[in-house]
Amino acid sequence: MKKSIFTFALIFIATITFAQKKHKNNRLDFVGKTYEYTIEETHLNLTIISNTEAKWLYVSSPNNETGKTETEKATITKIAKGVYQITWTEKDGSNVIDIFNLNTNEVFVNFTLPDAKMYNLKANFKIK
């Protein structure tokens, strides 16, 4: 009886440990990379720093915004294998929801400005 309880406990702990590792690693193919793409006239890089942080940089942009950058507190959700949603709210109140499809190298860029104007764009990206 003691042997079967010990065996059950060992299997249970191993299962929980495996599940926790799998959960922690489920975004590894998205985090730690820089994604380069162009939307309208803005060429930008988005670096996924961690599961909770992203940094964007305008590589080139109209209206004298080239070089503008910000690090955002972000939420990343894995939607499907190789498909991720990343969201954040910028200091000016703009809300960003981007969906990256790593299978097709497409990004669906969605954002709402503080004046409630909404944009929905699509671009191809390169991983730097």
String of DSSP letters for 11-71? HHHHHHHHHHHHHHTTTTTTTT-EEEEEETTEEEEEEEEETTEEEEEEEE-TTTTTT-EEE
Same domain, yes or no: 35 and 76: yes
What does the alpha-carbon distance between residue 17 and residue 95 come to, in Å, rounded to a whole number? Answer: 36
Same domain, yes or no: 118 and 59: yes
Same domain, yes or no: 23 and 58: no
Question: What CATH number should be reported for the domain holding residue 96?
Answer: 2.40.128.20
Domain count, the chain: 2
pLDDT-wise least confident of 18-22, 33-37, 79-83, 88-92: 18-22
pLDDT in tens, 34-82: 999 999 999 999 999 999 999 999 999 988 899 999 999 999 999 999 9
Same domain, yes or no: 41 and 95: yes
Same domain, yes or no: 4 and 45: no
91-117 in b/e burial notation, b at 16+ Cβ within 10 A?
A: eeeeebebbbbbeeeebebbbeeeeee
Is the pLDDT assigned to residue 9 strictly greater than 50?
A: no
Mean pLDDT score, 108-125: 95
Range(s) of the domain holding residue 71: 31-127
